[in-house]
Amino acid sequence: MGCFLSLSATNYLVATNADDSNAGTLDKPFATLQKAQSKALPGDIEE
């Protein structure tokens, strides 16, 4: 018997014309890298 664990990273997006109150998605990116870093967990990606 095996145990399988599937983990997936979350991508947080940043754009200069965005707002830090957004969700960090492609449609609603964060305005600052600091906001993305504050939400990120190990393995997540801030772009």
Predicted confidence pLDDT, tens digits, the chain (47 residues): 566 555 688 999 999 999 999 999 999 999 999 999 999 988 888 88
Contacts (Cβ under 8 Å, ≥6 apart) of 18: 28, 29, 30, 31
pLDDT given at position 4: 57
pLDDT given at position 1: 57
pLDDT given at position 8: 81
pLDDT given at position 45: 85
35 contacts 20 by C-beta, under 8 angstroms: yes
Note the pTM of the prediction, 2 decimals.
Answer: 0.79
- Interior angle at CA 7, CA 15 and CA 45, nearest 5: 20
